[in-house]
Structure 1
Amino acid sequence: MTTLVLPIELEPGADVFEQLRHMTDDEFYYFCQDNTNLNFERDANGNIKSMGQTGAETGERSSELIAELVIWNRQTKLGFVYDSSTAFRLPNSAVRSPDAAWVPAERRNAFTPEQRKGFLPLGPDFLVKLVSETDSQKDTEAKMAEYIANGCRLGWLINPKTQSVMVYRTNGSVDVITDFSGSLSGEDVLPGFSLALSLLV
Structure 2
Amino acid sequence: MTTFTVNFNPIIELTDEQFYQLCRANPNVKFERNAQGELIIMPPTGGETGNRNVEIAADFVIWNRQTKLGKVFDSSTCFKLPNGADRSPDVSWIKQERWDTLTPEEKEKFPPIAPDFVLELMSPTDTLKATQEKMQEYMKNEVKLGWLIDPKTRRVEIYRQGQDVEVLQSPTTLSGEDVLPGFVLNLELL
Smaller-chain TM-score bracket: over 0.9
| Cα root mean square deviation, aligned | 1.3
Which residue does 1:157 correspond to in 2? 148
Which residue does 2:175 correspond to in 1? 185
Asked if the contact 2:9/2:37 (under 8 Å) is kept, the reply is no
Following TM superposition, the consecutive aligned residue runs of length 4 or more in structure 1 with deviations greater than 2 angstroms are 16-21
For residues 137-194 of structure 1, what are the alpha-carbon distances to aligned partners after superposition, in whole Å with 9 as ceiling and x for unaligned? 00000000000000100000000000000000002321111014x2100000000000
Residue type of the partner of 1:128?
Answer: L
Which residue does 1:47 correspond to in 2? 38
Which residue does 1:199 correspond to in 2? 189
Asked if the contact 1:90/1:96 (under 8 Å) is kept, the reply is yes
Query: Which consecutive unaligned segments of at least 5 residues does structure 1 have?
Result: 1-15
For residues 1-51 of structure 1, what are the alpha-carbon distances to aligned partners after superposition, in whole Å with 9 as ceiling and x for unaligned? xxxxxxxxxxxxxxx933675111111111111111100010001000101
For residues 38-79 of structure 1, what are the alpha-carbon distances to aligned partners after superposition, in whole Å with 9 as ceiling and x for unaligned? 000100010001011000010111011100000000000000
Equivalent residue in structure 2 for 1:129, among 109, 120, 137: 120
TM-score, with normalisation over the residues of structure 1?
0.89
After superposition, residues 35-114 of structure 1 pair within 5 angstroms as 35-114=26-105
**Distance (Å, rounded) in 1 between the aligned partners of 2:12 and 2:102:** 27
**Distance (Å, rounded) in 1 between the aligned partners of 2:25 and 2:11:** 14
Residue type of the partner of 1:85?
Answer: S
Q: Secondary structure at the match of 2:9?
A: helix
Asked if the contact 1:155/1:167 (under 8 Å) is kept, the reply is yes
Which residue does 2:130 correspond to in 1? 139
Query: Which consecutive unaligned segments of at least 5 residues does structure 2 have?
Result: 1-6
**Distance (Å, rounded) in 2 between the aligned partners of 1:172 and 1:155:** 12
Q: Give the greater-gyration-radius structure (CA).
A: 1
**Distance (Å, rounded) in 2 between the aligned partners of 1:122 and 1:112:** 11
Aligned length: 184
Asked if the contact 1:21/1:46 (under 8 Å) is kept, the reply is no
Residue type of the partner of 1:105?
Answer: Q
Residue type of the partner of 1:173?
Answer: D
Which residue does 2:110 correspond to in 1? 119
Q: CA deviation at 1:120?
A: 0.8
